[in-house]
Chains A and B, each alone.
Chain A
Amino acid sequence: MAWIKRHLIAFAALAVLVYMLVPNIVVAVFSFNEPKGKFNYSFNEFSTAAWTNPCGTQGICESLGLSLQIGLIASITAAILGSMIAFALGRYRFRGRSATNLLIFMPMATPEVVMGSSLLTLFLALGVPSGEGAILIAHIMFCVSFVVVAVKARVATLDPKLEEAAADLGANPTQTFLRVTLPLAAPGIAAGTLLAFSLSFDDYIITNFNASPSSITFPMFVWGATARGVPVQVYVIGTVMFLLALLFVVTGQVIGKRRNRQVA
């Protein structure tokens, strides 16, 4: 009894961890299932069929490719725009600065349904065709906010004296930015970009409002498939995405730890 009491926090932590990871484990397990009938809801028979043929369901890899493409373009564009905004907000005093600071949070605070539907209205009014272009514009818009928040936090910790020191040592403004400012802001930019990618990749609501029949993203494909029975390939891709995310996080942790060890 005393032993349990002493380790209560460990038990609680374990329970929360299990709670959070069970869905991922279920997905991984069922990716090896050979379902009986249309629905992959009960484990029938072990099979690696879906793993050896991940594109085996019609449209799945096309939608995955589209989502990756949109995710990359949206996150990189948002990273560039968002970093510039973050530097402007973090470094300079100008008219409308506090208003910008506030407005940049709006896409994060607005419910996706509201944003998706109002964007659709706007695009229709302006005559912008639905499809990949419209989705990209929408994704870049909400991704920018997240990049700004991540980069601004980093810029705030940068000592402006470092840039003065660079200038003092003969670095012109371009060299100062490339050799001092940018490398120091890089962790913030990387974090913002990764966050933007994952948000873009799994966005369903806003995307669905602005998609055309030829622009089915991966989340839309999965949603559409649930009605007819989700193909096992979806579980495979889900597992791979989870493992990739895990890899990114672990790599980030290891790099961070090594850097900390150097500091200490």
Chain B
Amino acid sequence: MVDTGKGDLSLVALTKSYGSFTAVQPLDLTIEAGSFFALLGPSGCGKTTTLRMIAGLDAPTSGRIRIGEKDITDTKAYQRNVNTVFQSYALFPHMTVLDNVMFGLKRRGDKDAKRKAQETLELVQLAQVGDKRPTQLSGGMQQRVALARALVNRPDVLLLDEPLGALDLKLRRQMQIELKRIQQEVGLTFIHVTHDQEEAMTMADRIAVMNAGRLEQLGDPATLYEMPRSTFVANFLGQSNLLRAQVLGGPSDDGVVRVRSHDTDLEVSREHLPDGVTDVWLGVRPEKLRLGEAGGPNRLRGIVRDVSFTGVATQYIVEMPWRQELTVVQQNDGTARATLGETVTVSWAATHGFALDASQDAEAGAELVDEHG
């Protein structure tokens, strides 16, 4: 018996607790059919637990899981039309590659299993290795077999549990493009679990950022990056300079709100400011800051404490009079350079800043990025 309820996947107040530890706080999420969705967060944030509940490998403590109109919460893993690409691949070592790929089809008595499996192996560019054993293949190839084994069943939802984690950087980049291509070609719903923010942003249409069992923010990659709604998202997705500031009044006619930070008047777009807060962190991405006054009306002066040239860009650490260090990334486009110890002006536009409620920890999420490289 296989449930076939084509449609969006919805998680309704889904939770998972182990004794007194809550791995997933009530989670509401709708994942559109046919989209490439990423669950992004540091290890232990509950993303893998969420994935296992969708697969049916773990039972939720409470809440419902639906695909389209069909409620699958109480069905077993083998009754769900959901397939997983495991982090360790979990290929059957006693079967050939082709038998591995046919495994799912044969369980439901598909007469055309062999042809479909061959076609899927072609899709992942492994048509030649069907009669080999998984252990004879390289890590990258095994990864594709695991993908083919799940894909061939045309599941309503295909789950990917950090599938690229074991690959080296170059192969990972290659597989990211490959996965995206395959997803567009087959049009299935992909849910990709990862701790790699760059990977999530490269591949996914929409990203749910999770932290400590809660959904931090949901959105497309650009929105998450340009308008993070929490310091965790601001720090976990890329780098942010966060300045403590007070809102001075309502928006002016041109949609700009004036704020005051360390005795300097600055401005930020109205839509980048959450409602009803007066104490804020004013955030600016390093690459939005310009040396000199060309960046915009927001200007701060400081001393260059560090210069690191990376080829395409130069990263400066600029110390403010109140000891805070701002990171500035300047494209190597021939514009002004600064030297160590020089006093410089950094500037940015009102639309390039974002404001966050100051009651949050400014460092949230920052330390987790380094941990994963």
Mark A residues whose CB is within 8 Å of B.
Answer: 159, 161-162, 164-172, 175-176, 179-180, 183-184, 262-264
Contacts and interface: CB of A to CB of B under 8 A. Distances in A.
Contact of A165 (B79, B82, B92, B108): B92
A171 B88 contact: no
B87 to A, nearest CB: 9
B78 A159 contact: no
Nearest to A175: B107
25 contacts: A159-B88, A159-B90, A164-B90, A165-B91, A166-B92, A167-B77, A168-B56, A168-B57, A168-B78, A168-B82, A169-B150, A170-B2, A170-B78, A170-B79, A170-B108, A170-B153, A171-B103, A171-B107, A175-B107, A180-B92, A184-B93, A184-B94, A263-B133, A263-B135, A264-B136
A221 to B, nearest CB: 42
A168 B55 contact: yes
B76 interface: yes
**The 10 A-B residue pairs with the shortest CB-CB distance in the complex, in nearest-first order:** A169-B104, A165-B90, A170-B107, A161-B90, A167-B77, A263-B135, A167-B78, A168-B84, A183-B94, A170-B78
A261 to B, nearest CB: 10
B77 A164 contact: yes
> Which of the four size classes fits the interface of chain B?
20 to 34
Given A171-B78, A171-B103, A172-B76, 5 more contacts: A164-B57, A168-B55, A168-B83, A180-B92, A263-B135
B86 A161 contact: yes
B84 A165 contact: yes
Contacts of A167: 56-57, 76-78
A162 B149 CA distance: 13
B88 A161 contact: yes
Contacts of A263: 133, 135-136
B161 to A, nearest CB: 10
Interface in B117-139: 133, 135-136
Nearest to B107: A170
Contacts of A176: 78
Contacts of A169: 78, 83, 103-104, 107, 149-150, 153
B43 to A, nearest CB: 18
Interface in B21-80: 55-57, 76-79
Contacts of B90: 159, 161-162, 164-165
Nearest to A158: B93
B78 A172 contact: yes
Interface of B: 2, 55-57, 76-79, 82-84, 86, 88, 90-94, 103-104, 107-108, 133, 135-136, 149-150, 153
A103 B149 CA distance: 43
Nearest to A183: B94
Contacts of A161: 86, 88, 90
A262 B133 contact: yes
Nearest to B99: A179
Contacts of B107: 169-171, 175
Nearest to B55: A168
A170 B104 contact: yes
A168 B136 contact: no
Nearest to A160: B90
Contacts of A162: 90, 92-93
A171 B79 CA distance: 9
A263 to B, nearest CB: 5
Contacts of B83: 168-169
A171 B78 CA distance: 6
A195 to B, nearest CB: 22
B33 to A, nearest CB: 20
A184 B95 CA distance: 10
A167 B103 CA distance: 11
A211 B77 CA distance: 53
Contacts of A166: 92, 103
Nearest to B77: A167
A8 B90 CA distance: 46
A164 B86 contact: yes
Contacts of B91: 165
A262 B103 contact: no
A170 B86 CA distance: 15
A177 to B, nearest CB: 12
Contacts of A164: 57, 77, 86, 90
A168 B135 contact: no
A264 B153 CA distance: 30
A243 to B, nearest CB: 31
A262 B136 contact: yes
Nearest to A165: B90
Contacts of B136: 262-264
A46 to B, nearest CB: 50
B86 A165 contact: yes
A181 B361 CA distance: 49
Nearest to B93: A184
B309 to A, nearest CB: 45
Contacts of B79: 170
B77 A168 contact: yes
Contacts of A159: 88, 90
A165 B142 CA distance: 14
Contacts of B93: 162, 184
Nearest to A264: B136
A124 B187 CA distance: 74
A264 B135 CA distance: 8
